[in-house]
Amino acid sequence: MESQYPPLPPMETGIRGRCPRCGQGHLFKGFLTLKPRCEVCDLDYGFADPADGPAFFVICFACVPSMLLGVWFEVVYEPARWAHLIVTVPFMALTCIPPLRPLKGWLVCSQYFYKAAEGRLAKAGE
């Protein structure tokens, strides 16, 4: 069954939220909830465990710069609190929430592509 599907790049399939095996089915049934299986090729998504990976990347590359913008805005302009509600909060929401889904899709598809599995101890002679 696996041999009839060519390997698909995780960056293409994951960011679009598509099945890592066939590239046609959908990964998500909500914003971040994975479907149990692909509706096209019937791949079981039970292997997928991106854990906190998407959140880690967003915190490092989006939340920290967003917070720095808020601190800079406060130090340079000393605005009223309502100005932060208009400038800082929407900027943080727009830079921190939308990247979560494509990052999660990319991590799930990368796990499939590279056959990542949970670590285990090797027995003597293996």
pLDDT tens digit sequence for 8-33:
999 999 999 999 999 999 999 999 99
Distance CA 125, CA 108 (A): 32
The pLDDT-based confidence of 118 (bands split at 50, 70, 90) is confident
Whole-model pTM: value is 0.86
d(CA 14, CA 1): 21
Assign 29 to helix, strand or coil: coil
CA distance 27 to 109: 9
Furthest C-alpha separation in the chain: 68
Q: Which amino acid is at 85?
A: L
